[in-house]
């Protein structure tokens, strides 16, 4: 039975990063998207702080009997601007996913052409087709939801925490102490779910390989009366893929519940501290309300990173597989350049990668071969 084994190697350090640097080298659309997302993230941060301040001013103005017409109009405008920025972020993410997928597919085809039919004969072509097709289609969640929240975590969370410290340092201290608990639990859950998601992706590749082999050798299977057994094996692999998908969903729900629980407890601690200090007169209503409105916004991006990580995992896994092929093509081209001729000169690193790839992707069997 074909097996797609987990990858190991020197690139493991790069794969643990939220954004693989190799993706930025091979896909220009990814670099443009990161820049655009950074600009949108800065604007969203300013809008979040402005919305909290205007809402605080409107509420305290009503309590004090002031005219709040200007604050309400500005509040509506800021709310509309926030909606526009969210829609713009989604649109930019969808376009970046489509363009990055197209660029990676084109470069993958060019790399396979450079590596030649001998290299392709040693690879699992059905798994490559699944990776370049269904796998890259899953980049929508990665670019549309995961990366924007990751950028907001880098930009919005520190700025909001700084504003909380500036307005009310005890509330900022509580948020700063409780905030690291969320990424800690996120890492622990991510370590458990990464293996489950990898098994799901490998099962999908095995399902595609088995189906392609069955279709290719269908005439031989029917000649020997083995088509029913082949259909049962495909059904068993499909059922295994269903079970792996359900495991991923269970871990996703567990991760989402953990993020929501931790962030809710952190915001509740800030609210309790602000309430007691309001009762004792140590804090004004305007500052207390402003800090309470900002507290959930400090935890929201990092909480969404944990939630969207699972939705983007399939696209990330497919991208890693394609980047390995592209790196192999770059190493092959570098060997030819060093030799100064058309013949490839194997290097220790490229030979090790080739041996690892052959171990991970078995040679294709002939049609109708026994399973």
Say if 68 falls within a structural domain. Answer: yes
Distance from C-alpha of 286 to C-alpha of 363, rounded to nearest angstrom? 69
Task: Say which CATH number the domain at 265 has.
Answer: 1.20.1560.10
Which pLDDT tens digits describe the chain residue by residue (371 residues)?
444 444 444 333 444 566 777 777 878 888 888 899 899 999 999 999 999 999 999 998 898 888 888 889 999 999 999 999 999 988 898 888 888 888 888 888 888 888 888 787 777 676 677 777 777 777 777 887 888 888 888 999 999 999 999 998 998 899 888 888 887 877 777 676 777 777 777 787 777 777 777 777 877 777 777 778 888 888 888 888 888 878 877 877 777 787 788 888 888 999 999 999 888 888 888 889 999 999 999 888 888 887 777 666 667 777 777 888 887 777 776 666 555 544 444 444 444 444 444 444 444 443 344 43
Give the list of residues 6+ apart from residue 83 with CB closer than 8 angstroms, or none. Answer: none
Say if 175 falls within a structural domain. Answer: yes
Say if 339 falls within a structural domain. Answer: no
Say if 368 falls within a structural domain. Answer: no
Host domain of residue 72:
12-326+345-360
pTM: 0.69
Per-residue H/E/C for 98-160: HHHHHHHHHHHHHHHHHHHHHHHHCCCHHHHHHHHHHHHHCHHHHHHHHHHHHHHHHHHHHHH
Say if 32 falls within a structural domain. Answer: yes
Based on the structure, what is the number of domains in the chain? Answer: 1
Say if 7 falls within a structural domain. Answer: no
Say if 335 falls within a structural domain. Answer: no
Say if 4 falls within a structural domain. Answer: no
- Give just the sign of the alpha carbon dihedral 45, 47, 53, 56: negative
């Amino acid at each position: 039975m074909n097996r797609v084994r987990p990858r190991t190697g020197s690139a493991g350090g790069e794969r643990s990063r939220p954004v693989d640097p190799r993706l930025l080298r091979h896909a220009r659309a990814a670099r443009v998207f990161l820049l655009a997302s950074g600009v949108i993230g800065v604007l969203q941060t300013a809008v979040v702080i402005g919305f909290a301040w205007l809402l605080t001013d409107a509420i305290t103005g009503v309590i004090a009997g002031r005219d709040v017409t200007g604050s309400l109009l500005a509040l509506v405008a800021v709310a509309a601007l926030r909606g526009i920025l969210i829609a713009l972020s989604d649109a930019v993410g969808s376009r970046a996913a489509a363009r990055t997928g197209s660029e990676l597919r084109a470069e993958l085809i060019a790399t396979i052409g450079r590596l030649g039919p001998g290299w392709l004969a040693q690879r699992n072509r059905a798994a490559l087709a699944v990776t370049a097709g269904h796998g890259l289609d899953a980049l929508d969640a990665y670019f549309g939801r995961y990366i924007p929240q990751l950028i907001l975590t880098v930009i919005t969370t520190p700025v909001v925490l700084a504003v909380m410290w500036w307005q009310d340092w005890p509330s900022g201290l509580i948020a700063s102490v409780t905030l690291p608990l969320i990424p800690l639990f996120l890492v622990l859950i991510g370590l458990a779910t990464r293996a489950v998601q990898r098994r799901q992706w490998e099962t999908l590749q095995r399902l595609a390989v088995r189906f392609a082999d069955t279709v290719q050798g269908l005439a031989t299977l029917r000649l020997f009366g083995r088509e029913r057994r082949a259909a049962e094996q495909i059904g068993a692999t499909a059922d295994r893929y269903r079970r792996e998908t359900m495991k991923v969903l269970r871990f996703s729900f567990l991760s989402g519940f953990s993020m929501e629980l931790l962030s809710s407890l952190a915001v509740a601690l800030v609210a309790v501290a602000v309430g007691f200090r309001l009762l004792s007169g140590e804090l004004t209503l305007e500052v207390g309300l402003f800090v309470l409105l900002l507290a959930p916004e400090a935890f929201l991006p990092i909480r969404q990173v944990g939630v969207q990580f699972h939705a983007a995992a399939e696209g990330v896994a497919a991208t890693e597989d394609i980047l390995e092929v592209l790196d192999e093509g770059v190493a092959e081209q570098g060997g030819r350049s060093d030799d100064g001729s058309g013949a490839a000169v194997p290097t220790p690193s490229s030979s090790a990668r080739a041996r690892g790839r052959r171990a991970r992707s078995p040679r294709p069997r002939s049609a109708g071969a026994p399973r």
